[in-house]
Amino acid sequence: MSNPYTSKIDGYHEPTAAELAARKKRNLAIAVGLFGFVAFIFLLLLFRIGVLG
């Protein structure tokens, strides 16, 4: 819960370097996964409608 008068967040704990590094890896994996999914569906549709192959 944040305190509206001091803008200080109660119970906030600074993430460790290892946690930040792990989060960065996860974010990159999500980005790659999302791009891969969009490209995968796009290519599949092109194959299905006969533009490719």
Interacting residue ranges for another protein, rule: CB under 8 A: 1, 10-11, 13-16, 18-20, 22-23, 25-26, 29, 37, 40-41, 43-45, 47-48, 52-53
Q: Which is nearer to another protein, 5 or 24 (CB)?
A: 24
Distances (CA, A) of 11 to 3, 15, 30: 11, 12, 28
Q: Taking the complex as a whole, how short is the minimal distance between the CB of residue 46 and another protein, in angstroms? A: 10
Q: Which is nearer to another protein, 5 or 11 (CB)?
A: 11
The HSE-up count of residue 46 (CA atoms within 13 Å, CB side) is: 9
